Amino acid sequence: MTDTAASAPAGLEAKFTTCYMCSCRCGIKVTLENGKIRYIQGNPDHPTNKGVICAKGSAGLMKQISPARLTKPLLRKEGTERGAGEWEEITWERAYDILVKRLSKIRSTDPRKLAFFTGRDQMQALTSYFAKQFGTPNFAAHGGFCSVNVATGMIYSIGGTGWEFGGPDWDRTKYLVLFGVAEDHDSNPFKIGIGKLKDRGGKLVVINPVRSGYGAVADEWIPIKPGTDGALIMGMIHVLIANGLYDREFLLTRTNAPQLVVVDQGGEEEGLFWQADGAPDSDLNTNYVWDTVTNTPRPYGAKGVKPALLGAFTAPDGTKVKTSFQLLSERALSDYPLEKVAHITGAPVEKIEKIALEMGVTARDETITLPIEWTDTWGNRHDKVTGAPVAIHGMRGLAAHSNGFQTVRALSALMMILGTIDRPGGFRHKPPFPRPIPPCPKPIDDPELIKPNTALPNPPLGFPTKPENLMVNADGSPVRIDKAFSWEHPLTAHGMIQNVITNAWRGDPYKIDTLMFFMANMAWNSSMNTARVIEMLTDKEADGSYRIPFIVASDAFFSEQAAYSDLVLPDTTYLERYDVISLLDRPISEYTGLVDSIRQPILTPPEGCEPFQETLIKLAGRLGLPGFCGGDGKPLFRDYKDFITNWTMAPDTPIGFLAGWRGKEGRDHIVGEPNPDQWDMYIKNGCFFEFELEESLQYNRNINQGYLNWALDHKFIRRNDPIIMKIYSEVMQRFRLAAQGQRPGRQPATKAQRERLVKYFDPLPFWYPPLEDGAVDRKKYPIHAITQRPMPMYHSWDSQNAWLRQIIGQNFLYINPIKARELELSDMDWVWAESAHGKIRCQIKFSHAVQPDTVWTWNAIGKMAGAWNLDPMADEARKSFLLNHLISEEINDAIVGRVSNSDPITGQAGWYDLRVRIYKAEEEGSWPQFPALKTPPGVAARPERLRYTTRSERS
């Protein structure tokens, strides 16, 4: 690898590091002049962004000079109200004292009373390790309100998912279909890829109620009604199957399409894969196919077998069985006639058929062949790698609905049918994926394991495959504060941050003591039902104490969350600290291999700021947490840098946070002893490490023996069995059987829970209307309301950025004039948007680029007056708005009553299920309004003018 020390013109200094203006984590080159940032550009050698940079990344220098920067630990003054803005500036020492006192008490009594949730951070490896060592199960990152449906929907189907874990083969795809994507995590790679697709003359199809961004350059736009993609995809599957446009070979060799499902008897085995000799159901089973040579069931993958893809058979033991694909075909053909699909989705029959046929024909006829030899897990040698240049990608347009998991299951099935997974031209995994379906870690299934002064045996999150994996008490009640992994939301792989405040406030399932947030703006744009959440944050018991006793926030800026906390820990910015982008977390790998990276401080942080990583390490040390301290209770690590260098998974597993330059000399990769010079070696290499896999290990990884062996050797997986993709999910069926009372072992306690599970845990993908549709009067609230990410803004972070806020200072509610005319509204009218839960006032703007039953706006532009140290009269506070006020975090479900407004399978927040009605408002300005927040101590004054330059002024 070449030494890529940054070059800069004389007199200037340039350094590489990793951007964190968003979660994409591109490599950047920062040029400094006179101690200030002269310029930020993309690092041309960096695998993620190859030299390009986005608007946010470019504006990184404005972040450093933002007057919203917090520079002092702040403690709410004794006797003042939370949110009133009366702060005492304290020292870090005092902050530690307070925290250590409180947390050690919690830890020695009931560790669950610490709830530690993190937002749009990317350091869950460290934060979850902290929680695990602390012993609280109440930890999760932002996934629950983000895109866990996409993550689990795909992980439970194909063994990998999108973003940093996989994505379209940008170098080869010719037909790209995007479902519900505005910007995505992979900001720059996505755009680089779209550029490449266009250069290649490839076709882009965008399925989205809104045409914008990527949709703008789409060759075809399908304005779909929100929440109906599941039906659309099933319709496409219908077309493909009906036209024989499915990849037989692929389905037979990599998916469970030919595997035999028990279909006739009811009872314990019903709907599970048929096993010979009554062998028990297990995640490790190979399962059987119908061999057309011998006309008998034979093990999947057995030599000489010619499996039937379609068909219904009677097994030798008399059991009636059908192939998974037969079941899917029946479902698609009988339940999803195109006229019905068109009615549900609003997409015309011809269009659905056209796109499906185009995908199918392109996949079938434009085979890509690469002269790469590889061996599959059954020992067959292949002299080439083939693929189909059709790639499909779905994001929050699918995820953020309460039917999203099954929709993403359908999407996965569509990809399997087209045979476009981990082959050239289609979807490609990024190591460490694929992983077993689902990956091995399981949540803590025994509440007894949560004990005072004890670390948890494994991390608080995982991937259940059966009811026994749930995190429930003997009576079936949830163990976790967010009710993740409970009967209400069994597959909550990312937790349910969206319910933490409400549950903690209500004391359901129990009361907590300390609520700690890192990098999450839960008091505002990241919560549903924002106004009510603020009330809960400030609500008191009869005795005058707060219902949520103590709230800690780590933030770099004066966010709404900082304002509504008791203790605020001022963090550094990404240019001021050491950081790792670790394989143990969400790495930045490429299709061709592993990548991880670091950040190095480019600037000195303001006096009172401390990197939160540092804070966690120190805190862990002072609390004497195992893993951070030796047997003598003394801290093992000097600081965060030291922790990263020296920490390993286990004494005999020399794997650490960083994969590059391990071993004393720095010659090992991925697995190896700690290397004291590891940081320097990263810095020397432009702050990233890339490990390219041999070509023969780059494709077909679900069944590529070479790859699986390699992955096992490097501990990415615990077994090197083939990762057979699941058109049919027995995991779903296990929960359904339990709910039907057919399965021994854990069963749901209530009838409602049983009914809910039976309804939603379908082993085949299917479409059902989002929960909100059933919970509110659709006639009264006929319009769908959704948000989109603006490309030049990151959630709430960037309104303090002097450049970015000029680009979007006010958000509008975009409405199709066809609908507006029906409602007798004019362009730029102020309107009330009202849902079953609340109402807001906002300004509409006509746009033809939106499906007429849908309105949309940019996400998180609206601010609470005074927050982010903006002028309280700024448009962000007075004209902009949040849709969040309209979305309830709980709904009244027809089956279970009050329940989280989330996907019943994964607990993914159903943001985009929202329905509203819209009517003219007499007054102008956004509503609700909150009293302006007081500017806290330690932040700089807002300058009237800004004239940023690093040059010494011209004479």
Ligand X SMILES: Nc1nc2c(c(=O)[nH]1)N[C@H]1C(S)=C(S)[C@@H](COP(=O)(O)OP(=O)(O)OC[C@H]3O[C@@H](n4cnc5c(=O)[nH]c(N)nc54)[C@H](O)[C@@H]3O)O[C@H]1N2
Which positions touch Mo ion (CB under 5 A)?
146
Binding status of residue 313 toward other proteins by CB under 8 A: yes
Under the criterion CB under 8 A, does residue 343 sit at the interface with other proteins? no
| Contact characters 211-230, other proteins, x per CB under 8 A | xxxxxxx-x-x-x-------
User: Rounded to an integer, what distance in angstroms lies between the CA atom of residue 27 and that of residue 6?
Assistant: 12
Of the two residues 56 and 102, which places its CB atom closer to ligand SF4 in the complex? 56
C-beta closer to ligand SF4: residue 19 or 496? 19
Among the listed residues 30, 37, 53, 844, the single contact to ligand SF4 using CB under 6 A: 53
| 952: contact with other proteins by CB under 8 A | no
Residues 57-76 that bind other proteins (CB under 8 A): 57-59, 61, 66-68
Closest distance between other proteins and the C-beta of residue 792, in Å? 4
Nearer to other proteins, 382 or 506 (CB): 382
- Backbone phi and psi for residue 284, each to the nearest 5 degrees, phi listed first: -95, 0
Q: Which amino acid is it at 211?
A: R
- If binding is defined by CB under 6 A, does position 49 make contact with ligand SF4? yes
Burial of residue 671 (number of CB atoms within 10 Å: 0-12, 13-18, 19+): middle
Phi, psi of 478 (to 5 degrees): -70, 145
Q: How far is the CB of 361 from other proteins (least distance, A)?
A: 5
The footprint of ligand SF4 on this chain (CB under 6 A) covers a number of residues equal to 13
What is the CA 819 to chain-centroid distance, rounded?
Answer: 33
Of 3, 824, 923, 944, the one binding other proteins (CB under 8 A) is: 944
Distance CA 955, CA 945 (A): 21
Print the binding letters for residues 9-48 with ligand SF4: x by CB under 6 A, - otherwise: ----------x-xx-xxx----------------------
Based on CB atoms, which residue is closest to Mo ion, 146 or 551?
A: 146
Q: Does 337 bind other proteins (CB under 8 A)?
A: no
Element (DSSP H or E) covering residue 370 = strand 368-370
**Of 862-921, which residues contact other proteins (CB under 8 A)?**
869-871, 873-875
Cβ atoms < 10 Å from Cβ of 820 = 21
Lookup: tokens for 358: 């185009």
Closest CA to 224 of 912, 951, 927, 924: 912
Q: Which is nearer to other proteins, 251 or 731 (CB)?
A: 251
Of ligand SF4, other proteins, ligand X, none, which one does residue 181 interact with (CB within 5 to 8 Å by kind)?
ligand X
Query: What is the helix (H) or strand (E) element at residue 771, kind and residue range?
Result: helix 771-775
Q: Are 78 and 97 in contact (CB under 8 A)?
A: no
Q: Which does 19 bind (CB under 5 to 8 A by kind): Mo ion, ligand SF4, ligand X, none?
A: ligand SF4
- Residue 313 binding: pick among other proteins, ligand SF4, ligand X, none (C-beta 5-8 Å cut-off by kind): other proteins
Q: Which two tokens stand for residue 116?
A: 């530690």
The Cα–Cα gap between 218 and 744 comes to 51
User: For Mo ion, which is the closer residue by CB, 73 or 119?
Assistant: 119
Considering only residues 179 through 238, tell me which ones interact with ligand SF4, judged by CB under 6 A. Answer: 187-188
Using DSSP, state whether 230 is helix, strand or coil.
helix
Q: Candidates 37-45, 102-110, 587-595, 613-621: pick the segment binding other proteins (CB under 8 A).
A: 37-45
With CB cut-offs between 5 and 8 Å by kind, which of Mo ion, other proteins, ligand SF4, none does residue 146 bind?
Mo ion
Token reading at 307: 């499996």
Residue 883 DSSP symbol: G
- In whole angstroms, the minimum distance from the beta carbon of 589 to ligand SF4 comes to 15
Q: CB-wise, 54 or 899, nearer to ligand SF4?
A: 54
Residue 133 binding result from other proteins, ligand X, Mo ion, none, given CB thresholds of 5 to 8 Å by partner type: none
Nearer to ligand X, 159 or 346 (CB): 346
Nearer to other proteins, 769 or 809 (CB): 809
**Is there a contact between 689 and 669 (Cβ–Cβ < 8 Å)?**
yes
Residue reference for tokens 């030919």: 258
Cis peptide bond upstream of 299, omega within 30: no
Q: Quick one: tokens of 478?
A: 């949830």
Q: Amino acid identity of 693?
A: L
**Which residues within the stretch 132-191 sit at the binding site for other proteins (CB under 8 A)?**
175, 187-188, 191
Chosen residue from 53, 236, 470, 562 binding other proteins by CB under 8 A: 53
828, 894, 919, 920: which one binds other proteins (CB under 8 A):
828
Cβ–Cβ < 8 Å for 193, 170: yes
Residues 498-537 binding other proteins (CB under 8 A) are none
CB of 19 within 8 A of CB of 574?
A: yes
Residues 6+ apart with CB under 8 A from 131: 114, 116, 137, 138, 139, 456, 459, 460
Q: Residue 25's binding partner, choosing from other proteins, Mo ion, ligand SF4, none, with beta-carbon cut-off 5 to 8 A by kind?
A: ligand SF4
Q: Does 330 bind other proteins (CB under 8 A)?
A: yes
Q: Does 658 bind ligand SF4 (CB under 6 A)?
A: no
- Using CA atoms, how far apart are residues 120 and 207, in angstroms rounded to an integer? 26
Query: Do the bridges between strand 114-118 and strand 514-518 make them parallel or antiparallel, or are there none, so unpaired?
Result: parallel
Locus of tokens 């004393």: 664
DSSP for residue 701:
T
Peptide bond before residue 432 is cis, with ω within 30 degrees of 0: yes
Pattern 862-901, ligand SF4, x by CB under 6 A: ----------------------------------------
Gyration radius from the chain CA atoms: 27
Cα 117 from Cα 512, distance rounded (Å)? 13
Interaxial angle between packed helices 92-109 and 612-623, expressed in degrees from 0 to 180 and rounded to the nearest 10: 50
Residues 833-862 that bind other proteins (CB under 8 A): 843, 845-850, 852
The single residue among 310, 352, 584, 697 that binds other proteins, judged by CB under 8 A, is 310
**Residue 384 CB-half CA count within 13 A:** 7
Binding site for ligand X (CB under 6 A): 22-23, 119-120, 142, 145-147, 179-185, 187, 207-210, 224, 226-227, 229, 395-397, 401, 518-521, 525-526, 554-557, 559, 561, 571, 573-574, 612, 786-789, 791, 793-797, 856, 859-860, 883-884, 911-912
Choose, by CB under 8 A, the member of 131, 151, 245, 289 that binds other proteins: 245
Spatial distance between the Cα atoms of 902 and 145, rounded to a whole number of angstroms: 9
CB of 184 vs ligand SF4, minimal distance in Å: 10
Based on the shown chain and the rule CB under 6 A, indicate whether residue 62 belongs to the binding site for ligand SF4: no
Tell me how far apart the alpha carbons of residues 527 and 509 are, in angstroms, rounded to a whole number.
Answer: 19
519 counts as binding ligand SF4 under rule CB under 6 A: no
CB of 122 to Mo ion, least distance (A): 11
Both tokens of residue 279?
A: 């062998």
Which among other proteins, Mo ion, ligand SF4, none contacts residue 533 (Cβ within 5 to 8 A by kind)?
none
- What is the rounded distance in angstroms from the CA atom of residue 783 to the CA atom of residue 776? 12
Q: How far is the CB of 2 from ligand SF4 (least distance, A)?
A: 22
Alpha carbons within 13 A on the beta-carbon side of 771: 33
Q: What are the phi and psi torsion angles at 162 (to 5°)?
A: -85, -160
The single residue among 15, 29, 37, 54 that binds ligand SF4, judged by CB under 6 A, is 54
SS3 443: coil
Is residue 539 exposed (0-12), middle (13-18) or buried (19+ Cβ within 10 Å)? middle
Q: Nearest distance from residue 29's CB to other proteins, in Å?
A: 9
- The binding track of 258-297 with respect to other proteins, each residue x by CB under 8 A or -, is ----------------------------------x--x--
| 881 neighbors 918 (Cβ within 8 angstroms) | no
Catalog residues that contact ligand SF4 under the rule CB under 6 A: 19, 21-22, 24-26, 49, 53-54, 56-57, 187-188
